[in-house]
Amino acid sequence: MAFEFITQALRQQQTDSLLRTRAVCNEAINFSANDYLGLSTHPDVIAAWQRGANEHGVGSGGSALVTGYTHAHAALEDKLVEITGFESSLLFNSGYSANQALIKALLNKNDLLVQDKLNHASLIEAGVYSPATMKRFKHNDSNHLAQILMQYRPQHANSLVVTEGVFSMDGDMADLPAISQQCKGHDAWLLVDDAHGFGVLPQGHNSLKQQGLLAADVDLYMATFGKAVGVSGAFVAASKEVIDYLVNFSKPYIYSTAMPAAMAMCIDKALTIMLTETWRVSHLNQLICYFKQQCSLCNITLMPSDTAIQPLLIGDASKAMKISQTLANQGLLVKAIRPPTVPLGTSRLRITLSANHRIEDIDLLLTRLKEALDEK
């Protein structure tokens, strides 16, 4: 018998209440999506994709270096430069591959990679496979980061510090001014993965502007189009030289079929709406305040977060699953997040809010949530 670990691993997941299954999404009110601005169903975004498909077909036909780079791709990159203030930008098919690409392309054997403990799996995994030395600092602790840089920076050629802007499972924001200052002081580059900040935050649509930083304070910026932008794909923004380097040397970029032009047009339209329909961000932030305030009145203790991600810590994985199931039976989609996505004993309901929600939706969630919590 070979590969017996497959049966064993699945059985163990079941025993630990950690078995993952994919439920087909139904008509429930969705409090688990990352479609924070409600753009995935916007008629103009849908129309842009359709128009793009009519003009360019549905596939890009090859890598960006062969046939996969059109006016639509170039226009989207220009728009991202305008929005973020970086010199240059580059499109990827997913945030996962963008993160892998960056860490692979930039770090070698004698280099140092320093990551926040709670960074996304795509970043941590890239670090594990990288020949560089990887160290992790305590979540959002710039003093611990400073200690690590002081101890390890001198023996290494190049150092890269990586943090999320808004943390995906906790919803809190990295202290970017402090982290950026440490990086400057220790001659390390900083990469901010802003998957959950881009488009969501009221100041300038990203974590840098939200915290009063300029593009020049950060070396590399990455965000996805699959969260607030409502589509799929990702981009990296940096200096022109770094982007030129990626175009020349990044294998996940060079050897992967480019994003379809129709999709680039659709993302472009979604970005335009993000910038012009400013009521979406305002409404979202009103809902966040309202939800937090009402939870506090009902003695429901949320994790500390001011963003669209409002997690409710449950602890036990099976209990979290049970509450999630109870809510699902009542037409509310609130997914439980379990280890290893989050640390052991911190299973939670990851509640996300969207500009498509109405106050009535939040009220319904509050009522059902309170009942489900009282029941257990």
Q: Please give the residue whose beta carbon sits closest to ligand PLP in the complex.
A: 95
Tell me which of 35, 111, 116, 164 is the catalytic residue: 164
Q: Which is nearer to ligand PLP, 102 or 312 (CB)?
A: 102
Catalytic residue among 88, 168, 305, 356: 168
**Interface residue list for ligand PLP (CB under 6 A):** 94-96, 99, 120, 122, 164, 168, 193, 195-196, 224, 226, 234
Distance CA 78, CA 264 (A): 12
Q: Is residue 34 among the annotated active site residues?
A: yes
- For the CB of residue 83, give the shortest distance to ligand PLP in the complex, in Å: 18
Nearer residue to ligand PLP within complex by CB, 115 or 326: 115
Q: How many CB atoms lie within 10 A of CB 330?
A: 15
Catalytic residue among 42, 104, 120, 144: 120
Least Å distance, CB 97 to ligand PLP, is 7
Strand 88-92 relative to strand 234-238, pairing: antiparallel
Two tokens, residue 12: 């163990």
CA nearest neighbour of 126 among 110, 109, 113: 113
β strands within the chain, DSSP E: 29-30, 88-92, 112-116, 133-137, 159-164, 189-193, 220-224, 234-238, 309-315, 332-333, 336-337, 347-352
The yes-or-no answer on residue 196 being catalytic is yes
Question: Minimal distance in Å, beta carbon 119 to ligand PLP?
Answer: 7
Nearer to ligand PLP among residue 17 and residue 232 (C-beta)? 232
Written as one letter, the residue type at 230 is G
For residue 287, what are its two tokens?
A: 């809902």
In the complex, minimum distance from the CB of residue 226 to ligand PLP, in angstroms, rounded to a whole number: 4
Q: Which residue in the list 205, 209, 227, 335 is annotated as catalytic?
A: 227
Taking the complex as a whole, the smallest distance from the CB of residue 352 to ligand PLP amounts, in Å, to 11
Under a CB-based contact definition with an 8 Å cutoff, are residues 210 and 200 in contact? Answer: no
* Residue 56 falls in the annotated catalytic set: no
Q: CA 92 to CA 173: how far, in whole Å?
A: 24
- β-strands 112-116, 159-164: how paired? parallel
Select 199 or 226, whichever has its Cβ closest to ligand PLP.
Answer: 226
Q: Which of 35, 77, 111, 193 is catalytic?
A: 193
144 has catalytic annotation:
no
193 is catalytic: yes
* Enzyme catalytic residues: 34, 120, 164, 168, 193, 196, 227
